[in-house]
Amino acid sequence: MDTTNIIGRGTEIQQLETILNSGKAEFLVVYGRRRIGKTFLIKQFFKGKFAFYLSGAENASKEAQLFNFAIALREYSGKEYPLVDSWQKAFVQLKEYLQNIKKKGRKVIFIDEMPWLDNAKSGFLSAFEYWWNTYASSNNEIVLVVCGSSTSWITKKIFKNRGGLHNRVTRQIALQPFTLAETEQFLKAKKTKMSRLQIAECYMIMGGVPYYLEQLEKHYSLEQNIDNLFFKKNGILRDEFSKIYSSLFKSPEKYMQVIEVLSQKRKGLLREEIVKLTKIPDGGGLTSILEELELCGFISINNNFSTPKSNKLFQLTDFYSLFYTHFIKNRNITDKNFWSNTINTPLHNAWTGFAFELLCLAHIEQIRRKLGIGGVITCTFSWRSKKAESDNVQIDLLIDRADNVINICEMKFSRKEFTISKTDDENIRNKVWTFAEETRTKKALHTTLITTFGVKHNAYWNEVQSEVRLEDLFI
Protein backbone atom coordinates (compact mmCIF):
# COMPACT_ATOMS: atom_id res chain seq x y z
CA MET A 1 0.00 0.00 0.00
CA ASP A 2 1.16 3.55 -0.75
CA THR A 3 1.28 5.42 2.54
CA THR A 4 3.53 8.29 1.43
CA ASN A 5 0.72 10.85 1.80
CA ILE A 6 -0.08 9.82 5.38
CA ILE A 7 1.58 11.89 8.11
CA GLY A 8 2.36 9.86 11.24
CA ARG A 9 -0.18 7.12 12.05
CA GLY A 10 2.56 4.49 12.15
CA THR A 11 0.76 2.24 14.65
CA GLU A 12 -2.51 2.48 12.73
CA ILE A 13 -0.81 1.65 9.43
CA GLN A 14 0.68 -1.48 11.00
CA GLN A 15 -2.79 -2.47 12.24
CA LEU A 16 -4.30 -1.96 8.78
CA GLU A 17 -1.54 -4.02 7.16
CA THR A 18 -2.17 -6.82 9.66
CA ILE A 19 -5.89 -6.73 8.86
CA LEU A 20 -5.25 -6.77 5.13
CA ASN A 21 -2.98 -9.81 5.41
CA SER A 22 -4.86 -11.78 8.09
CA GLY A 23 -6.51 -14.15 5.61
CA LYS A 24 -9.84 -14.07 7.45
CA ALA A 25 -13.00 -11.98 7.49
CA GLU A 26 -12.39 -8.71 9.31
CA PHE A 27 -14.81 -6.21 10.84
CA LEU A 28 -12.86 -3.05 11.71
CA VAL A 29 -14.40 -0.07 13.49
CA VAL A 30 -12.50 3.22 13.24
CA TYR A 31 -13.76 5.94 15.55
CA GLY A 32 -12.66 9.24 16.99
CA ARG A 33 -13.69 12.85 17.31
CA ARG A 34 -14.85 15.00 14.41
CA ARG A 35 -12.07 16.27 12.09
CA ILE A 36 -9.46 13.77 13.32
CA GLY A 37 -8.79 12.21 9.90
CA LYS A 38 -10.59 8.86 10.02
CA THR A 39 -11.87 8.96 6.44
CA PHE A 40 -8.57 10.31 5.11
CA LEU A 41 -6.59 7.48 6.72
CA ILE A 42 -8.82 4.72 5.34
CA LYS A 43 -9.09 6.27 1.86
CA GLN A 44 -5.36 6.82 1.59
CA PHE A 45 -4.36 3.40 2.90
CA PHE A 46 -6.84 1.49 0.72
CA LYS A 47 -6.57 3.86 -2.24
CA GLY A 48 -7.80 2.12 -5.39
CA LYS A 49 -8.61 -1.05 -3.41
CA PHE A 50 -12.27 -0.57 -2.46
CA ALA A 51 -14.74 -3.13 -3.71
CA PHE A 52 -17.50 -0.84 -2.36
CA TYR A 53 -17.63 2.50 -0.60
CA LEU A 54 -20.68 4.24 0.89
CA SER A 55 -20.87 7.28 3.11
CA GLY A 56 -23.86 8.23 5.22
CA ALA A 57 -25.28 11.70 4.68
CA GLU A 58 -26.03 13.87 7.71
CA ASN A 59 -29.74 14.40 8.41
CA ALA A 60 -30.72 12.67 5.14
CA SER A 61 -33.90 10.58 4.91
CA LYS A 62 -33.93 6.82 4.50
CA GLU A 63 -34.94 7.30 0.87
CA ALA A 64 -32.00 9.64 0.21
CA GLN A 65 -29.54 7.24 1.88
CA LEU A 66 -30.84 4.31 -0.21
CA PHE A 67 -30.54 6.43 -3.35
CA ASN A 68 -26.89 7.11 -2.49
CA PHE A 69 -26.40 3.38 -1.92
CA ALA A 70 -27.84 2.63 -5.37
CA ILE A 71 -25.52 5.15 -7.03
CA ALA A 72 -22.48 3.70 -5.25
CA LEU A 73 -23.44 0.12 -6.17
CA ARG A 74 -23.87 1.05 -9.82
CA GLU A 75 -20.50 2.83 -9.80
CA TYR A 76 -18.58 -0.12 -8.36
CA SER A 77 -20.45 -2.94 -10.10
CA GLY A 78 -20.93 -1.33 -13.49
CA LYS A 79 -24.48 -2.73 -13.47
CA GLU A 80 -27.84 -0.97 -13.32
CA TYR A 81 -29.13 -2.33 -10.01
CA PRO A 82 -32.68 -1.06 -9.41
CA LEU A 83 -33.39 1.44 -6.65
CA VAL A 84 -34.87 -0.40 -3.65
CA ASP A 85 -37.08 0.75 -0.78
CA SER A 86 -35.50 -1.11 2.16
CA TRP A 87 -32.06 -1.80 3.59
CA GLN A 88 -32.81 -5.52 3.60
CA LYS A 89 -33.09 -5.44 -0.19
CA ALA A 90 -30.05 -3.17 -0.46
CA PHE A 91 -27.82 -5.63 1.39
CA VAL A 92 -29.15 -8.48 -0.76
CA GLN A 93 -27.94 -6.50 -3.76
CA LEU A 94 -24.56 -5.88 -2.10
CA LYS A 95 -24.16 -9.62 -1.41
CA GLU A 96 -25.06 -10.48 -5.02
CA TYR A 97 -22.55 -7.95 -6.36
CA LEU A 98 -19.72 -9.20 -4.13
CA GLN A 99 -20.40 -12.83 -5.04
CA ASN A 100 -20.16 -11.96 -8.74
CA ILE A 101 -16.70 -10.38 -8.45
CA LYS A 102 -14.51 -12.85 -10.30
CA LYS A 103 -11.15 -11.50 -9.15
CA LYS A 104 -9.87 -13.38 -6.13
CA GLY A 105 -8.36 -11.63 -3.13
CA ARG A 106 -9.39 -9.18 -0.43
CA LYS A 107 -12.60 -7.26 -0.96
CA VAL A 108 -12.56 -4.04 1.05
CA ILE A 109 -15.98 -2.60 1.91
CA PHE A 110 -15.90 0.83 3.50
CA ILE A 111 -19.03 2.25 5.14
CA ASP A 112 -18.26 5.77 6.31
CA GLU A 113 -20.36 7.76 8.80
CA MET A 114 -22.47 4.70 9.52
CA PRO A 115 -24.42 6.38 12.36
CA TRP A 116 -26.03 8.72 9.82
CA LEU A 117 -27.43 5.73 7.90
CA ASP A 118 -29.27 4.47 10.97
CA ASN A 119 -32.06 7.05 11.15
CA ALA A 120 -35.34 6.37 12.96
CA LYS A 121 -37.22 3.24 11.85
CA SER A 122 -34.92 2.82 8.84
CA GLY A 123 -34.21 -0.85 9.54
CA PHE A 124 -30.57 -0.24 8.62
CA LEU A 125 -28.91 -1.85 11.63
CA SER A 126 -30.94 -5.08 11.56
CA ALA A 127 -30.29 -5.46 7.82
CA PHE A 128 -26.58 -4.82 8.31
CA GLU A 129 -26.43 -7.36 11.17
CA TYR A 130 -28.09 -10.01 9.03
CA TRP A 131 -25.76 -9.35 6.07
CA TRP A 132 -22.66 -9.59 8.26
CA ASN A 133 -23.73 -12.68 10.22
CA THR A 134 -25.10 -14.73 7.32
CA TYR A 135 -22.63 -13.80 4.59
CA ALA A 136 -19.68 -11.50 5.24
CA SER A 137 -18.40 -12.98 8.53
CA SER A 138 -17.83 -16.38 6.89
CA ASN A 139 -16.18 -14.98 3.74
CA ASN A 140 -12.42 -14.85 4.24
CA GLU A 141 -12.04 -12.34 1.41
CA ILE A 142 -14.09 -9.64 3.17
CA VAL A 143 -12.51 -6.69 4.95
CA LEU A 144 -15.30 -4.50 6.32
CA VAL A 145 -14.28 -1.05 7.56
CA VAL A 146 -16.82 1.05 9.43
CA CYS A 147 -16.24 4.67 10.46
CA GLY A 148 -18.25 7.13 12.49
CA SER A 149 -17.75 10.35 14.39
CA SER A 150 -20.75 9.67 16.62
CA THR A 151 -18.94 7.80 19.35
CA SER A 152 -22.19 7.62 21.31
CA TRP A 153 -23.80 5.62 18.49
CA ILE A 154 -20.70 3.46 17.94
CA THR A 155 -20.57 2.61 21.65
CA LYS A 156 -24.24 1.78 22.11
CA LYS A 157 -25.06 0.16 18.76
CA ILE A 158 -21.84 -1.72 18.04
CA PHE A 159 -19.47 -2.10 21.00
CA LYS A 160 -22.25 -2.67 23.56
CA ASN A 161 -24.65 -4.36 21.16
CA ARG A 162 -26.52 -7.23 22.85
CA GLY A 163 -28.12 -8.48 19.66
CA GLY A 164 -26.73 -9.68 16.34
CA LEU A 165 -23.55 -7.61 16.53
CA HIS A 166 -22.53 -8.74 20.01
CA ASN A 167 -18.76 -9.46 19.93
CA ARG A 168 -18.71 -9.34 16.12
CA VAL A 169 -16.10 -6.56 15.78
CA THR A 170 -12.70 -8.14 15.10
CA ARG A 171 -10.57 -4.97 15.34
CA GLN A 172 -10.94 -1.37 16.38
CA ILE A 173 -8.87 1.79 15.94
CA ALA A 174 -9.45 4.80 18.18
CA LEU A 175 -7.83 7.51 16.07
CA GLN A 176 -6.05 10.06 18.23
CA PRO A 177 -4.83 13.60 17.51
CA PHE A 178 -1.33 14.11 16.18
CA THR A 179 1.53 14.38 18.66
CA LEU A 180 3.74 17.47 18.63
CA ALA A 181 6.24 15.63 16.43
CA GLU A 182 3.52 14.63 13.95
CA THR A 183 2.15 18.19 14.01
CA GLU A 184 5.61 19.51 13.15
CA GLN A 185 5.85 16.98 10.32
CA PHE A 186 2.39 17.98 9.05
CA LEU A 187 3.23 21.69 9.04
CA LYS A 188 6.52 21.06 7.22
CA ALA A 189 4.61 19.14 4.56
CA LYS A 190 2.35 22.21 4.20
CA LYS A 191 5.48 24.40 3.99
CA THR A 192 4.24 26.32 7.03
CA LYS A 193 7.24 27.60 8.97
CA MET A 194 6.99 27.83 12.75
CA SER A 195 9.41 27.61 15.65
CA ARG A 196 8.81 24.81 18.11
CA LEU A 197 7.41 27.29 20.63
CA GLN A 198 4.92 28.49 17.99
CA ILE A 199 4.01 24.88 17.15
CA ALA A 200 3.40 24.27 20.85
CA GLU A 201 1.21 27.38 21.13
CA CYS A 202 -0.68 26.31 18.02
CA TYR A 203 -1.17 22.86 19.59
CA MET A 204 -2.39 24.48 22.82
CA ILE A 205 -5.16 26.12 20.76
CA MET A 206 -6.09 23.44 18.21
CA GLY A 207 -4.61 20.24 19.56
CA GLY A 208 -3.24 17.83 16.98
CA VAL A 209 -6.43 17.85 14.89
CA PRO A 210 -5.45 17.58 11.19
CA TYR A 211 -8.46 19.49 9.83
CA TYR A 212 -7.76 22.48 12.08
CA LEU A 213 -4.06 22.47 11.20
CA GLU A 214 -4.98 22.29 7.51
CA GLN A 215 -6.68 25.70 7.80
CA LEU A 216 -3.43 27.51 8.65
CA GLU A 217 -2.22 29.80 5.87
CA LYS A 218 1.56 29.72 5.44
CA HIS A 219 1.84 33.42 4.50
CA TYR A 220 0.29 34.55 7.81
CA SER A 221 1.85 34.54 11.28
CA LEU A 222 0.38 32.24 13.92
CA GLU A 223 -1.36 35.20 15.58
CA GLN A 224 -2.88 36.32 12.26
CA ASN A 225 -4.06 32.79 11.53
CA ILE A 226 -5.77 32.48 14.90
CA ASP A 227 -7.49 35.84 14.42
CA ASN A 228 -8.70 34.80 10.96
CA LEU A 229 -9.92 31.37 12.01
CA PHE A 230 -11.49 32.17 15.38
CA PHE A 231 -12.22 35.89 15.66
CA LYS A 232 -13.19 37.15 12.22
CA LYS A 233 -16.96 37.28 11.78
CA ASN A 234 -17.06 34.22 9.53
CA GLY A 235 -13.98 32.47 10.90
CA ILE A 236 -14.08 28.74 10.02
CA LEU A 237 -13.44 27.61 13.61
CA ARG A 238 -15.41 30.28 15.45
CA ASP A 239 -18.57 28.15 15.78
CA GLU A 240 -16.93 24.73 15.75
CA PHE A 241 -17.72 23.98 19.40
CA SER A 242 -21.41 23.16 19.01
CA LYS A 243 -20.74 21.32 15.74
CA ILE A 244 -18.25 18.99 17.44
CA TYR A 245 -20.60 17.83 20.17
CA SER A 246 -23.73 17.76 18.00
CA SER A 247 -21.99 15.46 15.52
CA LEU A 248 -20.79 13.10 18.22
CA PHE A 249 -23.68 12.86 20.67
CA LYS A 250 -27.43 12.52 20.21
CA SER A 251 -28.29 14.98 23.01
CA PRO A 252 -25.15 17.16 23.22
CA GLU A 253 -26.29 19.75 25.78
CA LYS A 254 -25.27 17.78 28.88
CA TYR A 255 -21.95 16.80 27.33
CA MET A 256 -21.20 20.47 26.68
CA GLN A 257 -22.21 21.32 30.25
CA VAL A 258 -19.61 18.90 31.60
CA ILE A 259 -16.95 20.28 29.26
CA GLU A 260 -17.72 23.86 30.27
CA VAL A 261 -17.43 23.26 34.02
CA LEU A 262 -14.22 21.28 33.56
CA SER A 263 -12.76 24.08 31.44
CA GLN A 264 -12.97 26.40 34.44
CA LYS A 265 -11.22 24.02 36.84
CA ARG A 266 -7.55 23.67 36.08
CA LYS A 267 -7.10 20.98 38.68
CA GLY A 268 -10.06 18.90 37.46
CA LEU A 269 -13.18 17.84 39.34
CA LEU A 270 -14.41 14.88 41.32
CA ARG A 271 -17.68 13.26 40.21
CA GLU A 272 -19.70 14.82 43.04
CA GLU A 273 -18.34 18.25 42.11
CA ILE A 274 -19.48 17.76 38.50
CA VAL A 275 -22.97 16.84 39.75
CA LYS A 276 -23.09 19.95 41.92
CA LEU A 277 -21.93 22.35 39.19
CA THR A 278 -23.91 20.92 36.24
CA LYS A 279 -27.04 19.81 38.15
CA ILE A 280 -26.90 16.56 36.15
CA PRO A 281 -28.22 13.74 38.39
CA ASP A 282 -25.60 11.33 39.67
CA GLY A 283 -26.88 8.25 37.86
CA GLY A 284 -26.31 6.06 34.85
CA GLY A 285 -26.77 8.98 32.49
CA LEU A 286 -23.79 10.85 33.92
CA THR A 287 -21.70 7.67 33.81
CA SER A 288 -22.39 7.30 30.08
CA ILE A 289 -21.61 10.96 29.44
CA LEU A 290 -18.26 10.74 31.21
CA GLU A 291 -17.35 7.42 29.57
CA GLU A 292 -18.16 8.70 26.08
CA LEU A 293 -16.29 11.98 26.59
CA GLU A 294 -13.25 9.96 27.65
CA LEU A 295 -13.64 7.59 24.70
CA CYS A 296 -13.56 10.60 22.36
CA GLY A 297 -10.49 12.03 24.08
CA PHE A 298 -12.20 15.16 25.40
CA ILE A 299 -11.54 14.35 29.04
CA SER A 300 -9.22 12.13 31.04
CA ILE A 301 -10.30 10.11 34.06
CA ASN A 302 -7.37 9.97 36.45
CA ASN A 303 -6.94 7.77 39.46
CA ASN A 304 -5.99 9.71 42.57
CA PHE A 305 -2.81 8.26 44.09
CA SER A 306 -3.41 6.25 47.29
CA THR A 307 -7.21 6.75 47.27
CA PRO A 308 -10.00 4.37 46.17
CA LYS A 309 -10.51 4.05 42.42
CA SER A 310 -14.02 5.42 42.87
CA ASN A 311 -12.47 8.75 43.88
CA LYS A 312 -11.44 9.65 40.34
CA LEU A 313 -10.51 13.08 39.05
CA PHE A 314 -12.02 14.22 35.76
CA GLN A 315 -10.00 16.69 33.71
CA LEU A 316 -10.57 18.42 30.38
CA THR A 317 -7.99 17.36 27.78
CA ASP A 318 -9.42 18.81 24.55
CA PHE A 319 -7.43 21.88 23.55
CA TYR A 320 -9.99 23.42 21.20
CA SER A 321 -12.74 23.18 23.84
CA LEU A 322 -10.50 24.82 26.42
CA PHE A 323 -9.62 27.65 24.02
CA TYR A 324 -13.25 28.15 22.99
CA THR A 325 -14.63 28.34 26.52
CA HIS A 326 -11.90 30.75 27.63
CA PHE A 327 -11.89 33.16 24.68
CA ILE A 328 -15.04 32.82 22.55
CA LYS A 329 -17.98 31.52 24.60
CA ASN A 330 -20.20 34.31 25.95
CA ARG A 331 -17.93 36.99 24.49
CA ASN A 332 -19.35 39.34 21.90
CA ILE A 333 -16.02 39.88 20.20
CA THR A 334 -15.99 42.46 17.43
CA ASP A 335 -12.23 42.97 17.30
CA LYS A 336 -10.99 40.90 14.35
CA ASN A 337 -7.46 41.18 15.81
CA PHE A 338 -8.55 40.04 19.26
CA TRP A 339 -5.92 37.33 19.62
CA SER A 340 -3.02 39.50 18.51
CA ASN A 341 -4.13 42.14 21.01
CA THR A 342 -4.56 39.62 23.84
CA ILE A 343 -1.00 38.27 23.85
CA ASN A 344 0.74 38.70 27.24
CA THR A 345 -2.40 39.95 29.01
CA PRO A 346 -3.42 38.32 32.33
CA LEU A 347 -6.25 36.51 30.50
CA HIS A 348 -3.81 35.06 27.98
CA ASN A 349 -1.21 34.14 30.58
CA ALA A 350 -3.74 32.29 32.76
CA TRP A 351 -4.79 30.22 29.76
CA THR A 352 -1.20 29.36 28.72
CA GLY A 353 -0.51 27.85 32.15
CA PHE A 354 -3.58 25.59 31.90
CA ALA A 355 -3.00 24.67 28.25
CA PHE A 356 0.71 23.91 28.74
CA GLU A 357 -0.16 21.44 31.48
CA LEU A 358 -2.54 19.70 29.06
CA LEU A 359 0.21 19.68 26.45
CA CYS A 360 2.53 17.88 28.85
CA LEU A 361 -0.16 15.40 29.91
CA ALA A 362 -0.74 14.58 26.24
CA HIS A 363 2.93 13.62 25.87
CA ILE A 364 3.57 11.31 28.82
CA GLU A 365 5.48 8.80 26.69
CA GLN A 366 7.88 11.50 25.52
CA ILE A 367 8.43 12.60 29.13
CA ARG A 368 9.17 9.00 30.14
CA ARG A 369 11.73 8.66 27.35
CA LYS A 370 13.49 11.88 28.35
CA LEU A 371 13.66 10.70 31.96
CA GLY A 372 15.27 7.48 30.74
CA ILE A 373 12.48 5.29 32.08
CA GLY A 374 10.96 4.15 28.79
CA GLY A 375 11.65 0.55 29.76
CA VAL A 376 10.50 0.88 33.37
CA ILE A 377 6.96 -0.12 34.33
CA THR A 378 5.16 3.06 35.40
CA CYS A 379 1.70 4.32 36.33
CA THR A 380 0.62 7.94 36.12
CA PHE A 381 -1.62 9.61 38.67
CA SER A 382 -2.79 12.97 39.85
CA TRP A 383 -3.06 13.67 43.57
CA ARG A 384 -5.07 16.02 45.75
CA SER A 385 -4.56 16.51 49.47
CA LYS A 386 -7.49 15.38 51.64
CA LYS A 387 -6.76 17.88 54.38
CA ALA A 388 -8.89 21.04 54.48
CA GLU A 389 -5.90 23.21 55.40
CA SER A 390 -4.08 21.87 52.32
CA ASP A 391 -6.94 22.48 49.91
CA ASN A 392 -4.65 24.12 47.36
CA VAL A 393 -2.15 21.25 47.34
CA GLN A 394 -2.53 19.21 44.18
CA ILE A 395 -0.04 17.44 41.95
CA ASP A 396 -1.26 17.11 38.38
CA LEU A 397 1.29 14.52 37.29
CA LEU A 398 2.90 11.78 39.34
CA ILE A 399 4.94 9.10 37.60
CA ASP A 400 5.00 6.09 39.93
CA ARG A 401 7.89 3.85 38.89
CA ALA A 402 8.62 0.18 39.49
CA ASP A 403 12.21 1.11 40.40
CA ASN A 404 10.98 2.67 43.68
CA VAL A 405 10.97 6.31 42.53
CA ILE A 406 8.06 8.71 42.10
CA ASN A 407 8.56 11.72 39.84
CA ILE A 408 6.56 14.69 41.13
CA CYS A 409 6.15 16.82 38.02
CA GLU A 410 5.72 20.59 37.93
CA MET A 411 4.78 22.08 34.55
CA LYS A 412 5.69 25.72 33.86
CA PHE A 413 5.14 27.72 30.67
CA SER A 414 7.58 30.55 30.03
CA ARG A 415 8.83 32.41 26.97
CA LYS A 416 12.37 32.22 28.29
CA GLU A 417 14.41 30.14 30.71
CA PHE A 418 12.28 29.54 33.79
CA THR A 419 13.57 31.00 37.06
CA ILE A 420 12.52 29.27 40.27
CA SER A 421 11.55 31.99 42.73
CA LYS A 422 11.55 31.67 46.49
CA THR A 423 7.74 31.33 46.37
CA ASP A 424 7.97 28.63 43.67
CA ASP A 425 10.51 26.76 45.76
CA GLU A 426 8.31 26.93 48.86
CA ASN A 427 5.26 25.74 46.93
CA ILE A 428 7.12 22.78 45.43
CA ARG A 429 8.63 21.80 48.78
CA ASN A 430 5.19 22.03 50.39
CA LYS A 431 3.68 19.74 47.75
CA VAL A 432 6.42 17.16 48.15
CA TRP A 433 6.25 17.29 51.95
CA THR A 434 2.44 17.10 52.07
CA PHE A 435 2.40 14.21 49.60
CA ALA A 436 5.02 12.29 51.58
CA GLU A 437 3.23 12.87 54.89
CA GLU A 438 -0.24 11.89 53.69
CA THR A 439 0.68 8.91 51.51
CA ARG A 440 3.43 7.52 53.75
CA THR A 441 5.18 6.32 50.60
CA LYS A 442 8.52 4.56 51.01
CA LYS A 443 9.65 5.51 47.51
CA ALA A 444 12.17 8.22 46.70
CA LEU A 445 10.50 11.45 45.58
CA HIS A 446 12.15 13.22 42.64
CA THR A 447 11.07 16.73 41.68
CA THR A 448 10.82 17.05 37.90
CA LEU A 449 10.32 20.42 36.19
CA ILE A 450 8.79 20.43 32.71
CA THR A 451 9.35 23.80 31.05
CA THR A 452 9.59 25.39 27.64
CA PHE A 453 13.26 26.47 27.68
CA GLY A 454 14.73 24.83 30.75
CA VAL A 455 15.42 26.02 34.28
CA LYS A 456 17.87 28.73 35.28
CA HIS A 457 20.54 27.38 37.61
CA ASN A 458 19.99 29.69 40.55
CA ALA A 459 20.05 29.00 44.31
CA TYR A 460 16.83 26.95 44.16
CA TRP A 461 17.69 24.81 41.14
CA ASN A 462 19.63 22.20 43.11
CA GLU A 463 16.40 20.87 44.63
CA VAL A 464 15.30 19.72 41.16
CA GLN A 465 16.31 16.14 40.31
CA SER A 466 15.38 16.18 36.62
CA GLU A 467 14.29 18.49 33.82
CA VAL A 468 12.21 18.05 30.69
CA ARG A 469 12.10 20.80 28.05
CA LEU A 470 9.61 21.52 25.32
CA GLU A 471 11.99 20.19 22.69
CA ASP A 472 11.95 16.82 24.47
CA LEU A 473 8.20 16.54 23.82
CA PHE A 474 8.97 16.48 20.07
CA ILE A 475 10.88 13.19 20.37
Output Rg (C-alpha) for the chain, integer angstroms. 25
Query: What pLDDT does 310 receive?
Result: 59
Query: What pLDDT does 313 receive?
Result: 87
Q: How far does the chain reach from its first CA to its final CA, in angstroms?
A: 27
Query: What pLDDT does 307 receive?
Result: 61
Query: What pLDDT does 226 receive?
Result: 97
Long-range contacts of 374-378 (CB under 8 A, 24+ apart): 376/401, 376/402, 376/403, 377/401, 377/402, 378/402
Query: What pLDDT does 22 receive?
Result: 95
| Low-confidence residues of the chain: pLDDT under 50 | none
Q: Are the C-beta atoms of 57 and 116 separated by less than 8 Å?
A: yes
Q: Are the C-beta atoms of 339 and 445 separated by less than 8 Å?
A: no
Domains of the chain in sequence order = 10-174 (3.40.50.300), 240-327 (1.10.10.10), 363-474 (3.40.1350.10)
> What is the C-alpha separation between 71 and 57, in angstroms, rounded?
13
Question: What does each C-alpha distance from 227 to 242, 328, 336 come to in angstroms?
Answer: 19, 11, 6
pLDDT 10s digits, 183-192: 999 999 999 9
Q: Which amino acid is at 243?
A: K
Write the CB contacts of 264 (distance below 8 Å, at least 6 apart in sequence). 325
Is residue 259 helix, strand or coil? helix
Q: Are the C-beta atoms of 257 and 278 separated by less than 8 Å?
A: yes
Query: What pLDDT does 34 receive?
Result: 85
